[in-house]
């Protein structure tokens, strides 16, 4: 029976290459590792070329040394601080570096942690705001059991905030975006605030368009509010995409802990932190903004160490990958990589703009995102969904999706430029893009059925 299962059998001559790889119950006997490796790898082959995937913010390239180091450290469990004290120190170093990058006023008082991604980090940020609100509201004599807390954010939020509100029973108050406000409407934000508001979230890099909320303005509005109210508002910045881009490229932009009401910031290490998916970060400017109930102790070198993440066990390799990048690139390394990526985004944006067919929503000026809709009056027969299909034929993955509520009659396309999209690949993309348009202009278009509107649009 097993004679077809030894190392000498060529993979494609083996019995197993004739069978389904994806099983619904375990086979009784093992198969050889070389066959399992080969066939499973082949199974995953047709997911598209990661380097041509312009749909995702998540990293698709790391240096071979980083990959090696990460694969050599996969067995380390990030939560076992006493078994892996050096790994715990590496995580601490990352938190210190981010506190510094985000200009925390007093690094000795900041507290933070790694997470699986921004989603977990946002849960923690939201919980900290909720617990703090509850304590302060009770002190102000409010019967907190009788009222539902709320969170204020623009309707351009990423789905994790909706999850937060559903999971922890918080009312999500959306400040609507509209055609004149493609980010948080700072003139109206206070209309959504009341005594039960746990905080306002500003977004540094709206997932749909890459636009930034005006967090400087928001901060001054909050300062003004706090002067006239006993209820004190705080700001959390969801910097999933901008948090490790802006500090390098636009160090003078005020969005971070230099603003007095910004109490916490999250980012995704796997976006412009340049690590493979699986790492996020959250930092509080001061321990006092992280209620003690959310801090738990794990054993560490005969003593204990505070932890605050929701997840318990996970591999530390992503944290180590993050530190590798910090240690290897330094400030200027990140700056050079990001500037070059931004240049590619700007080149792509100008080529797209030159066709005069598109209304541009982002030309790479905030983060290296190019986002555009078809102009209304071009007389063109095809849609951005057709263009997405055409680009896909050439291997490029560029999604088309509607903007969120109130703007959902606008369908956009978004190109996320990442470090591994070099100038040459950028030029190849531009050429393909132009040819696809040419082909569509000549083509007999099969009209799509009206698509169901997807309220989440595109969430990553």
Ligand X SMILES: *Cc1c(COP(=O)(O)O)cnc(C)c1O
- Which residues contribute to the site for ligand X (CB under 6 A)? 57, 117-119, 122, 158, 160, 203, 205, 207, 238, 240-241, 268, 280, 460
Q: Which is nearer to ligand X, 163 or 231 (CB)?
A: 163
Q: Which is nearer to ligand X, 275 or 421 (CB)?
A: 275
We find the least distance from the C-beta atom of residue 116 to ligand X, in angstroms, to be 7
Q: Which is nearer to ligand X, 127 or 387 (CB)?
A: 127
Residue 53: partners with Cβ closer than 8 Å, 6 or more residues away = 60, 397
Q: Classify 230 in phi/psi space as left (phi over 0), alpha (psi -120 to 50) or beta.
A: alpha
Please, are residues 307 and 296 in contact by the beta-carbon 8 Å criterion? Answer: yes
| Secondary structure tally for the chain: helices H, strands E | 10, 13
Q: Which is nearer to ligand X, 116 or 349 (CB)?
A: 116
- Residue 20 per-residue DSSP state: -
Q: Which is nearer to ligand X, 128 or 240 (CB)?
A: 240
Q: Which is nearer to ligand X, 416 or 437 (CB)?
A: 416
We find the least distance from the C-beta atom of residue 66 to ligand X, in angstroms, to be 19
Residue 221 and residue 200: Cα distance in Å, rounded? 11
We find the least distance from the C-beta atom of residue 177 to ligand X, in angstroms, to be 14
We find the least distance from the C-beta atom of residue 257 to ligand X, in angstroms, to be 18
We find the least distance from the C-beta atom of residue 105 to ligand X, in angstroms, to be 25
Q: Which two tokens stand for residue 309?
A: 């993440």
Q: Which two tokens stand for residue 96?
A: 């210190």
Q: Which is nearer to ligand X, 405 or 460 (CB)?
A: 460
Residue 184 and residue 115: Cα distance in Å, rounded? 26
- Burial label for 390, CB within 10 Å (0-12, 13-18, 19+), is buried
We find the least distance from the C-beta atom of residue 277 to ligand X, in angstroms, to be 8
We find the least distance from the C-beta atom of residue 390 to ligand X, in angstroms, to be 27
Q: Which helix (H) or strand (E) holds 215?
A: helix 215-228
Cα distances (Å, whole numbers) of residue 257 to 72, 200, 247: 36, 15, 12
Q: Which is nearer to ligand X, 219 or 238 (CB)?
A: 238
Return the number of other C-beta atoms located less than 10 Å from residue 44's C-beta. Answer: 8
We find the least distance from the C-beta atom of residue 445 to ligand X, in angstroms, to be 33
Residue 25 and residue 39: Cα distance in Å, rounded? 17
Q: Which two tokens stand for residue 367?
A: 């983060």
We find the least distance from the C-beta atom of residue 301 to ligand X, in angstroms, to be 30
Please, are residues 109 and 95 in contact by the beta-carbon 8 Å criterion? Answer: no
* Residue nearest to ligand X according to CB distances in the complex: 117
Torsion angle of C-alpha atoms 112, 117, 122, 127, degrees rounded to 10: -60
- Pairing type for strands 369-374 and 358-363 reads antiparallel
Return the number of other C-beta atoms located less than 10 Å from residue 175's C-beta. Answer: 24
Q: Which is nearer to ligand X, 205 or 402 (CB)?
A: 205
Q: Which residue's structure tokens are 């406000």?
A: 181
Return the number of other C-beta atoms located less than 10 Å from residue 404's C-beta. Answer: 22
We find the least distance from the C-beta atom of residue 322 to ligand X, in angstroms, to be 13
Return the number of other C-beta atoms located less than 10 Å from residue 243's C-beta. Answer: 30
Q: Which is nearer to ligand X, 35 or 94 (CB)?
A: 94
């Amino acid at each position: 029976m097993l004679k077809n299962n030894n190392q000498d059998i060529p993979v494609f001559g083996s019995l197993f290459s004739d069978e389904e790889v994806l099983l619904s119950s375990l086979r009784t006997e093992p198969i050889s590792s070389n066959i399992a490796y080969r066939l499973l790898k082949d199974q995953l082959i047709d997911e598209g070329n990661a380097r041509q995937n312009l749909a995702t913010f998540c990293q698709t390239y790391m240096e071979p040394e980083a990959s090696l180091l990460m694969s050599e450290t996969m067995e380390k469990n990030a939560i076992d601080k006493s078994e892996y004290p050096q790994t715990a120190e590496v995580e601490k170093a990352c938190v210190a570096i981010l506190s510094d990058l985000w200009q925390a006023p007093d690094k000795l008082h900041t507290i933070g942690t790694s997470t699986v991604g921004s989603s977990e980090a946002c849960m923690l940020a939201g919980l900290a705001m909720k617990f703090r609100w509850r304590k302060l509201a009770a002190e102000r004599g409010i019967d907190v059991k009788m009222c539902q807390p709320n969170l204020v954010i623009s309707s351009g939020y990423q789905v994790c905030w909706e999850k937060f509100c559903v999971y922890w029973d918080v009312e999500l108050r959306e400040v609507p975006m509209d055609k004149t406000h493609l980010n948080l409407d700072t003139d109206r934000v206070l209309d959504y605030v009341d005594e039960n508001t746990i905080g306002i979230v500003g977004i540094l890099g709206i997932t749909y368009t890459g636009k930034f909320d005006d967090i400087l303005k928001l901060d001054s509005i909050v300062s003004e509010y706090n002067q006239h109210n006993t209820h004190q508002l705080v700001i959390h910045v969801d910097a999933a995409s901008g948090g490790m881009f802006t500090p390098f490229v636009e160090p003078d932009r005020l969005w971070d802990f230099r603003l007095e009401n910004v109490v916490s910031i999250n980012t995704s290490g796997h976006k412009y932190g340049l690590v493979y998916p699986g790492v996020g970060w959250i930092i509080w400017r001061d321990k006092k903004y992280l209620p003690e109930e959310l801090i738990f102790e794990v054993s560490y070198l005969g003593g204990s160490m505070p932890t605050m993440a929701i997840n318990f066990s996970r591999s530390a390799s992503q944290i180590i990958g993050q530190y590798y990048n910090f240690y290897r690139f330094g400030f200027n390394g990140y700056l050079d990589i990001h500037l070059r990526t931004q240049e590619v985004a700007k080149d792509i944006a100008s080529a797209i703009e030159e066709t005069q067919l598109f209304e541009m929503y982002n030309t790479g000026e905030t983060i290296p995102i190019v986002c555009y809709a078809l102009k209304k009056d071009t007389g063109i027969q095809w849609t951005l969904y057709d263009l997405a299909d055409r680009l896909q034929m050439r291997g490029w993955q560029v999604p088309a999706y509607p903007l969120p509520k109130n703007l959902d009659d606008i369908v956009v396309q978004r190109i996320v430029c990442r470090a591994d999209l070099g100038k040459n690949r950028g030029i190849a993309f531009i050429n393909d893009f132009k040819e696809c348009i040419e082909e569509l202009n000549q083509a007999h278009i099969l009209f799509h059925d009206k698509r169901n509107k997807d309220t989440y649009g595109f969430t990553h």
